[in-house]
Structure formats: structure tokens, C-alpha cells
Copies of this chain bind each other. A is one copy, B any other.
Amino acid sequence: MALVTRLGRIVGEHNVFSSREERVCYAYDGTFHFHMPDVVVKPQNAEQIAQILKLANDSNTPVFPRGAGTGLSGGSLPVHGGIAMVLTGMDSILEIDAGNQVAVVEPGVVTGRLHAAVAEQELFYPPDPASLDVCTIGGNIAECAGGPRGVKYGVTRDYVLGLELVTPTGDLIKTGGKTIKNVTGYDLTRLMVGSEGTLGIVTKALLRLIPLPGTIKTVLAVFDDLLQASDAILAVFKSGVIPATMEIMDAEAIKCVVEHAGARLPRDADAVLLIEVDGCPAAVEEEVNAVAEACLQHRARSVETASTPEERNRLWQARRAVSPALVKLKPTKISEDATVPRAQVPAMIRRLQQIREKYDLNLVIFGHAGDGNLHPNIIADERDAGEMARVEQAVGEIFQAALELGGTLSGEHGIGTMKTPYMQAEFGTQGLAYMRRIKKSLDPNNILNPGKIFSE
């Protein structure tokens, strides 16, 4: 019996898509790559997913789970054809348990929708990837998504308490639970988070919530010297403040938003820091003063503070304009997320500037400076083969610089297909072998999302 027919018996014919037009919609993600699946299936529950995985093992067909397809590392691309499994149909918020401060959700729930739903009960789910209005919790868990708030609140892994999942061989199992403390057996919950859909498919997630911070204040500090801005970052942390967000933009990023997005920043500035503090009102007042003082002590040209949503929006406008402004320069935007320890941010910025000059590229530096998770973006034109060759060399050097500074290939985008060639440099042969043994033991037929994390 044909695969399409057998899938139709599991999920209903209306949830199986096999025409070229339908399959094209699931052949891409947030990268510039394109891989056609042989068939697309939209399961509606965990039992259907288990049956599909059993069928896939029987017929040796690879399965590529996907949420909204916003990933930036190729994690959901169906690189070997096979089955694209779309989880957006499982999008129920099953429970918001205010007493235990836990939300129970299906994988297809859009992150921003969860934010809004829990905020109604004065609760807070901190992870805030830039794509939060579109991306799904399942994808966030698969890639361990981060965002600006990571510096204070941590990332997705810090908010996943338990999971229901289907294993690569089609068993339905549970991990963790609603308790913060849980040391019963191996921590399969955290093993799953960031495993990029290679060790199981999440069908339900128990997410930790915290009280919604009462007050937020924002500081925008403009610097004539990027190194002074870097020193100010460390001074803020030294003062004992943990800011909720701590964003940086370099001179190129500033110039770009001034010229292409009409941002109201001095175009000759060398760096801008955008810092937020949140919490209870009295603490926020003290902390915002400490932040402003740290910036002024490190020769900030100006420091502005905002409290109301309108004022805060105005300060954020320049930072939010970076990505849209960049694509006005050239069509191809390569966004990296190599991450270094916080104190190495100045050194990393210097290395990025050298790489920019060496390869004569539009390389713009901005991102989450508070946790060392910079986003160097290279703006190029993929039709220009010479430029793209320089981009590839530059990207390799960016990874090398991050590793030399004690950092890592990826802070929040994942390895996917894009960074597999560099894994050896970070983990060595034996570290990679340890990871591969886990994959092999749980997915003996290499059915689930092959071609990701490990090079083939």
C-alpha cells in the first residue's frame, strides 16, 4: 500500500498533502535552503504521531517534524524527502495552573499567544525569541530558543518542567512533571530540549511560569566608543543588577537604522546600549539608577530613561528596526549566533570588526550583549558568487573566534544543517561520539530528523 494511503488511514485523508503545490509550502524554513518532502502529514494527537513513527520505521522513511518553520539553522528542513510532519494543528493551551504556576500546552501553540494567555493571570513565560508572534512552543523546545530576556530569565530549557513525547520508535512516554525539584532518573526533559527533533517528538509540554514583573524601565545609552560601552556592560553586572535585557548595536548597525529606517539616533555614535530592568517598583527605581550611573561612569554621551509603554517603545524603535533596515542594503541576510562569555564581548567585537575588514563584507553587529549572544549579520547577495565565497570564509572565522574566546557555535538558533561542519571543532571526536551513541541507541533506524546536528 502506498505511504500516502497508509498515512491517510492514520490521520484522515484531509490531513495528508502530496501535491507539489502543497509540499512546496513545507520545503523551506528561516534559512535560504529548500528541500521538498515526499509527503506532508498533519497529526492531531500523540497516538497518531506514534502510529506514524511506527509506520516510518517499518518502511524506513525519514520523518521531519516542524512547527512554524521560523528556524534559522535548518532544523526542520526535510533534507532527505520523506515525511514532513507539521505540528501546528496541535495548538491547545490545555491548562494554566495558577496555583502551581505551570502551563500545559500542545507543541503547536504560538509563543506569543501563550505570553498573552498567562499574562491575563498575572503570570509570565519569559522566553522571547524574535519570531514569537509566529513560532511555536514545540519548535522553541526543539531548538531551546532564547531571546533578549535570556540574560536575566534564562532560556527555554529553564522553563520546561516536563514533557509527553513520542520516541523515535513510536512509544509514548512522559518525563518530569509539575514540580521544580525532580531528580527521578535521567533528566530526559532537558535532554529533549535543544535536541532539534532528533530524539523524540514533543506532544505536550509542562512549562514553568513566574509572577509577571510589576514594573519595567528602559535605559538607552549612547557611546562614542564601543569599548566604553563594553566596559559599561560589565559595570552594570558588577553593581549587582541583573538587567532583564541588555542589547547592543555597533556603529554599522546605528548607521543602517538611521539611513534606512529613520531611527532617531546620532549617526556618528560608536555604540548604543538598550537596557531594561524589571521587578517590584522600589527595586526597579534603585536598579535603573545604578544602570544609568554605570553608563555615565563609562563616558556615555547621553542616557535616556523611559517608564511608560509609549516611551519604552520609542527607545526600542531603533533596535527593532535593525533587521528590516538591513535587508534594504542587500537581499541575503545571514544571521549568526555564536556566543561568548560575557566578559569576552569586547574581544569578540574586535574580532568581528577584523573579519569585516578582511573579507570586505557588510557585517553588522547587534544582539544580546548581556549574555554574550551577539548576532553578527552579514548582508550579501546570493547571486554574487564571489561575495558568497567570502561570506562562507567569514562565517568559519566567526565560529573559530567564538571557540577561541571560550564560547560556543550557537547560543539560541541551534546547529540544524548549517553548523554541522563545525561541531568537531567544539566537541572533538570523542565528544561527538558520545552524542552519536545516544542518538543511535534511541533511534536505531535513524528515522527522526536525520541530517541535523551531526554531519552525514
Per-residue CB proximity of A333-351 to B under 8 Å, as 1/0? 0000001111110000000
Stretch touching chain B among A3-11, A41-49, A181-189:
A181-189
Contact of A211 among B155, B187, B240, B414 (CB under 8 A): B240
Q: Is the CB of B371 within 8 A of A434?
A: no
Q: Is the CB of B179 within 8 A of A240?
A: no
Stretch touching chain B among A57-65, A98-106, A219-227, A301-309:
A98-106
Stretch touching chain B among A258-266, A292-300, A420-428:
A420-428
Stretch touching chain B among A17-25, A32-40, A86-94, A282-290:
A282-290
Question: Taking the full assembly, how many copies of this chain does it contain?
Answer: 2
Contact of A423 among B184, B187, B426 (CB under 8 A): B184
Q: Is the CB of B411 within 8 A of A179?
A: yes
Residues of A424-443 whose CB lies within 8 A of B: 426-428, 430-435, 437-442
Q: Is the CB of B178 within 8 A of A187?
A: no
- A98 to B72 CA separation, bound complex (whole angstroms): 33
Tell me, rounded to whole Å, the shortest Cβ–Cβ distance linking A181 to chain B.
Answer: 4
- The answer to whether A111 has its CB under 8 Å from any CB of chain B is no
Contact of A191 among B186, B212, B371, B409 (CB under 8 A): B186
Q: Is the CB of B174 within 8 A of A431?
A: yes
A214: B residues at CB distance < 8 A: 240
- A187 to B438 CA separation, bound complex (whole angstroms): 11
Given A194-B186, A279-B283, A343-B97: A430 in contact with B242 (beta carbons within 8 A): no
Tell me, rounded to whole Å, the shortest Cβ–Cβ distance linking A132 to chain B.
Answer: 16
Q: Is the CB of A173 within 8 A of B282?
A: no
- A157 to B453 CA separation, bound complex (whole angstroms): 23
Q: Is the CB of B100 within 8 A of A410?
A: no
CB-nearest residue of chain B to A167? B434
- A412 to B407 CA separation, bound complex (whole angstroms): 31
Tell me, rounded to whole Å, the shortest Cβ–Cβ distance linking A84 to chain B.
Answer: 22
Q: Is the CB of B179 within 8 A of A187?
A: no
Q: Is the CB of A453 within 8 A of B185?
A: yes
Residues of A215-264 whose CB lies within 8 A of B: 234, 237-238, 240-242
Stretch touching chain B among A146-154, A268-276, A321-329, A388-396:
A146-154
Q: Is the CB of A435 within 8 A of B188?
A: yes
- The answer to whether A137 has its CB under 8 Å from any CB of chain B is no
A238: B residues at CB distance < 8 A: 98
Q: Is the CB of A423 within 8 A of B185?
A: yes
A411: B residues at CB distance < 8 A: 179, 181-183
- The answer to whether A332 has its CB under 8 Å from any CB of chain B is no
- The answer to whether A280 has its CB under 8 Å from any CB of chain B is yes
Q: Is the CB of A191 within 8 A of B191?
A: yes
- A190 to B183 CA separation, bound complex (whole angstroms): 11
Tell me, rounded to whole Å, the shortest Cβ–Cβ distance linking A73 to chain B.
Answer: 9
- The answer to whether A398 has its CB under 8 Å from any CB of chain B is no
- A101 to B212 CA separation, bound complex (whole angstroms): 26
Contact of A167 among B99, B187, B240, B430 (CB under 8 A): B430
Given A214-B240, A411-B181: A100 in contact with B342 (beta carbons within 8 A): yes
A13: B residues at CB distance < 8 A: none
Which interface residue of A167, A180, A430 has the most chain B CB atoms within 10 A? A180
Contact of A181 among B100, B190, B280, B371 (CB under 8 A): B371
- The answer to whether A143 has its CB under 8 Å from any CB of chain B is yes
A158: B residues at CB distance < 8 A: 154, 158
9 tightest Cβ-Cβ pairs between the two chains A and B: A282-B282, A441-B441, A99-B343, A181-B411, A190-B190, A283-B283, A178-B341, A171-B430, A211-B240
- Can you list 26 pairs linking A and B with CB atoms under 8 Å apart? A97-B343, A99-B234, A100-B343, A154-B180, A157-B190, A158-B158, A167-B430, A171-B433, A174-B428, A177-B407, A179-B340, A181-B339, A182-B408, A182-B411, A183-B410, A183-B412, A184-B415, A185-B415, A185-B435, A186-B191, A186-B435, A188-B434, A279-B283, A283-B283, A438-B438, A438-B442
Q: A177-B406, A438-B441 are in contact. List 17 more A-B contacts (CB 8 A).
A: A98-B238, A100-B343, A101-B342, A146-B181, A155-B180, A167-B430, A175-B431, A178-B407, A179-B341, A179-B408, A181-B372, A182-B411, A183-B415, A185-B415, A185-B453, A186-B438, A191-B438
